[in-house]
Amino acid sequence: MLISGSILAALVLLSSYTLYHHSEGGKGEILLRLMMRNMEYYHYQPQPVDDSFSEKVFTEYLERMDFSKRFFTQRDVENLGAYEHLIDDELKKGTFELFDLSIGMLDARVKEAEGYVMSILD
């Protein structure tokens, strides 16, 4: 239960980043650093942000991104898997390559699915 709270906090960090991703002046990076610091100091049971943490967050993130397994292909999941142990590093650097890549992939797959539906309806 405690671990899932930390994973949820990391997911909130990843999700909230999208709101500030394209902000001017690095507001997104500042917000991320503030949120990470608060998680480290004020969380009731802080978890170390390491590769093990990254694995848990990655698994949960992928599950929530495509919970019905309708959009991502096996190749997409394999490509995203390259980031499985890098989430901790990205959080520390203030970068979100996994997030940007996964959102781009999901958008592309949704558009692809819409194309299939439209071709059936035509």
pLDDT single digits (tens) 91-105: 888 888 999 999 999
Q: Lowest-pLDDT range, 12-21, 58-67, 73-82, 96-105?
A: 12-21
Domain span at residue 16 reads 2-121
Residue 89 has pLDDT above 70, yes or no: yes
- Residue 20 pLDDT level (bands cut at 50, 70, 90): very low
Whole-prediction pTM:
0.68
Residue 3 has pLDDT above 60, yes or no: no
The distance in angstroms from the start CA to the end CA of the chain is: 49
As for how many domains the chain has, the answer is 1
Give the residue-averaged pLDDT of 104-109.
96
Give the residue-averaged pLDDT of 43-48.
75
